[in-house]
Structure 1
C-alpha cells in the first residue's frame, strides 16, 4: 500500500538519530523496569469511585496524589452544571476565543474568577500550561527582563523560552539573591518577576510578603502562580499572596482549574488597566480552540462553591499537619520542616528505592506520585503526597499505617 502509513517502518539506529538525546532517560527507565518494579508512570485508574478512592490494578486504592485539593470532581452541583451545558451547548466550540469560541459560559466563568479574586479582569486559557506560556511569552519582550525562581514550573520556563526577554534566575526562595538580581538590571528596563505561591515538588511556600514589596521597590511587575494554593490557602482561598497580605501588590495571578477547581483549564486575573489587550496579542489564547462549554460550566460552579468552603480549608489544614507530623515521627525525611501546603513530599534515597516504596504503597492500597529528576530540585527522588479536603480522619489513619508498613518492608525507615 504505497503512500500510506502501512509501510512505515522503524528506522535502524543511526548517527544523528533525533532520539539519541533521550538515551540517558531510556537507559534509566529500562534499568528501573529490569528490577521487576511496576512502571510508576503508566498506572491506569480503572474506575474512580470518589475524589479520594479509585480502583487501580483491580484493587480499591486511596488516592493521595491527584491535586484534587478541594474534592470538587464529584460535587453534585458541579456535575449537574456540566451535564446541563453539554445538553444545551454541545460537546465543543471548534474555534478560538477571538473567533467563534466565546460562549456565554466562557464569560460567566471569567465573571466567577473576578468574583473569587476581586479583580477587574480575568482571562481563561485552555490549560494552566497555556496560561503561563501565553502570558509570559507575550508580556515580556525584547530588551525586557524576567527574573524567576530557579525552581519554577516547566510551563514558566517554557513561557520564557517562547518569548524574547532576558531571563535571570535566582536561588530558590532566596530574598537576598532576588534583590541582587534586581539591583543589576538596567534602570528603566521592563522587569517581570515570576514567583509561585506554593512550589509543587516540595510543597513549600514562597516568602511573598518580603519578595513582592522588594520587587515593587525596584520597579518590577510581579506575576504569581497560585496553582497549588488557590482554593485552599488564604482567608478566601485566593492563595499565598492573600495569606501573606500582598495580593493587591501583585500585577498578575495565574492558576489552573485542574487542581482545586477539579476540571481542566487555566486563567490569569489582573487589575492592570490595559490587561484586555492580552486577548488580541497572546498567541496561547488567540491560536487555540476554547474549552468546551460543559467544562466552563463545571469550572464556574466549582469556583463559586469554593468561595464558601471555609470548613473544607480548615479540615485540609488539619489533615496536612497531622500527616506531616506522623510521617516525620515515623522517621521519613520530608521536603519541609513544617507543613506549608497540602503537598507533603517524602524524600527517597534514590530512584530505585523510591520506585520500590511507591510499589509497596500501591500494594498496600495507596497511590502517591513518584517524582524524579530532572523535574525535581537538586536531583531528588520524591514520593509526593497531595491531600484532599475530603480525606476522612479514618483514611488519614490508614495512610499513616500504610507508610509505616511499606517503609519498613523496603528499608526506608
Structure 2
C-alpha cells in the first residue's frame, strides 16, 4: 500500500500535483499574486461584481444583523434576509419560489439526491460538473450518462432505460471546462415527451447569458420549460451561495428532503444582502452594459487566439479553453504565462480526461481591451515556443 507521501510524489511526477496560490486584495481584473501585479484570466467573477461598491455597502450594512445565522434554517437560522433573497431569485428567474443553498456543490448533491432515489433514473450529460455526478451517486438512482450534448443518444436512453420510477434529465447550462452551451430547447422537448423532470445547473450562465441575464434558459427562450433551475451566486453575481428556482411544490419538497439544506448552518447576513444587491445590479441598465462589454471582450480575445491557430474547443461563452493535451506541457504553459504577468490555470485530470488538458481562460467585463490584446500576444508567444501552435 502506498503511503500518502508516495501518492503525492506520484502526482508530482505525472504533472497532476495541485497547490494553492494566494491573491492579496480584492478580486478584480488585475490582482497581486506573490508580490507581482498580474492580469487575472482564470476567475469566474465574469461581470466584475465581487468588489462592486454596491455589493460591499450592502454587506457592510447587513453586519447590523450579526455575523452568523446561528443554526440551520429549520432550527432557528431562517432570517428575513434569507426569505428576501429567495423572493428576489424567484422573481428574477420567473418561478413560483426559490430555495437558497450554501454552495453549488451543496445544491447539486442535495437537490438530485432528494428528487430521485432507488428505482428512479438519472440521465446526465457526460461532461456535467462533478457535483452533479456526486449527487447522482448519492441518490442511488440508476445513473445513465449520454455523450456530450447528444440528444439523439439521450432519447435512446430514455426509451430503453427509463424504468417505472421518476426520470430526471440533468445538465450544465454552460459547461465549465469547455465553455459550450447545452441544447436546452431540445432537452425541454425530450423531458416533456418522456415525462421527465429537467434540471439545469446554470452556474456559469446566470447573470451573463440572455438579454436580461436570466441565463442559458433565457437564451433559448425556455425559462418556463425547466423544472429546476439551479444556479450559483459566486460567479456572475460576485457573491456566494447557490439556489434552486422551481415550483412551490418542489421547493417545499427540498426543504423536507434535501440533506445538504436540512443539516447545514445557513448563510450569514452579509452574504445574503450582497447577493440581493448583486441581482439588482445584474437586473439594471448597468448590468446590461456589463454584459455587452463582456461579450465584446470575449469576441476580441477569441478572434486573436483562433486567428493564431489555437483550438478553443467550441467555446460559445466567456469560458475560453486553449487545448494543449499533455498535463506537464499545460502546466509549463501556465508557468510561462505567469512569468509574463498573465495568470491562467492549467486544467488536468481528474477535472478533464487524460490527454485533453487545457488552459482555462475566463474573460471579465472589467478587463480592458488592451489588457486582453496583451494577454493574447503572450499566449501566442508561449504557444509557439512550446509547439502548441506553429
TM-score computed with the length of structure 1 as normaliser: 0.89
Match of 2:179 in 1: 203
Q: What is residue 304 of structure 2 aligned with on the other side?
A: 326
Matched, 1:53 2:30: yes
Partner residue, 2:79: 103
2:381 and 2:162 mapped to 1: Cα distance? 56
Unaligned runs of 5+ in 1: 1-14, 34-38
Distance 1:31 1:224, change over 3 A: closer
Contact conserved, 2:119 with 2:163, CA < 8 A, in 1? no
Matching residue of 2:233: 257
CA shift for structure 1 position 275: 2.8
Aligned to 1:335: 313
CA distance in 1 between partners of 2:251 and 2:67 (Å): 30
Q: Which residue of 2 aligns with 1:77?
A: 54
Residue 238, structure 1, aligned to residue 214, structure 2: yes
Q: By how many angstroms is 1:188 displaced?
A: 4.3
Residues 50-79 of structure 1, C-alpha deviations (whole Å, 9 max, x = no match): 521101121101111010011101111100
For residues 200 and 190 of structure 2, what CA distance do their matches in structure 1 show?
14
Residue 29 of structure 1: CA displacement?
1.8
Q: Deviations over 1:113-141 (max 9, x none)?
A: 01211111100011111010110011001
- Please say if 1:312 is aligned against 2:290: yes
What SS does the corresponding residue of 1:211 show, helix, strand or coil? helix
Q: Whose radius of gyration is greater, 1 or 2? A: 1
1:401 positional shift: 1.7
Contact 2:94 2:223 in 1 (8 A): no
Instruction: Give aligned pairs, total.
Output: 387
Name the SS for the 1:73 alignment partner. Answer: helix
Post-superposition CA distance 1:1-24 (Å, at most 9, x none): xxxxxxxxxxxxxx4x6859x93x
Task: Provide, for residues 131-184 of structure 1, a one-character-per-residue CA deviation record: whole Å limited to 9, x for no partner.
Answer: 101100110012111111111111001111111211111111101100000011
CA distance in 2, matches of 1:26, 1:290: 39
Cα shift at 1:349:
3.0
- 8 Å contact from structure 1 (residues 64, 385) kept in 2: yes
- Are residues 65 and 255 of structure 1, via their aligned partners in 2, closer, same or farther at CA, if it must alter by over 3 Å? same
SS of residue paired to 1:273: helix
CA distance in 2, matches of 1:151, 1:373: 13
Shift of 1:400: 1.4
Q: 2: distance between equivalents of 1:47 and 1:220?
A: 46
Q: Does 1:28 find its partner at 2:11?
A: yes
CA distance in 2, matches of 1:202, 1:69: 16
TM normalised by structure 2 equals: 0.95
Report if aligned partners of 1:40, 1:358 keep a CA contact under 8 Å in 2. Answer: no
The range that moved more, 118-127 or 206-215, is 206-215
Q: Does 1:383 align with 2:366?
A: no
How big is the shift at 1:333? Answer: 1.7
- 1:176 aligns to 2:152 (yes or no): yes
Residues 167-207 of structure 1: CA deviation (Å, up to 9, x unaligned)? 11111110110000001134643100001111001111111
Work out whether 1:227 is the aligned partner of 2:203. yes
Give how far 1:395 is off.
1.5
Render the CA deviation track for 1:292-320: whole Å, top value 9, x for unaligned.
Answer: 11110111110111112111111111111
Match of 1:163 in 2: 139
Output the aligned Cα RMSD.
Answer: 1.9
Distance, in Å, in 1 between the alignment partners of 2:176 and 2:13 is 27
**Structure 1 residue 407, shift from structure 2 partner:** 2.1
Cα distance in 1 for partners of 2:101, 2:306 equals 39
SS at match of 2:359: strand
CA distance change for structure 1 residues 257 and 186 in 2, over 3 Å: closer, same or farther?
A: closer
How far has the Cα of 1:272 moved from its partner?
5.2
Moved over 4 A (4+): 17-20
Question: CA separation in 2, counterparts of 1:182 and 1:117?
Answer: 28
Which residue, 201, 214, 217 being the options, matches 2:193?
Answer: 217
Match of 2:350 in 1: 374
Structure 1 residue 40 displacement after superposition: 6.3
Aligned partner of 2:327 in structure 1 is 351
CA distance in structure 2 between the aligned counterparts of 1:40 and 1:366, rounded to whole angstroms: 19
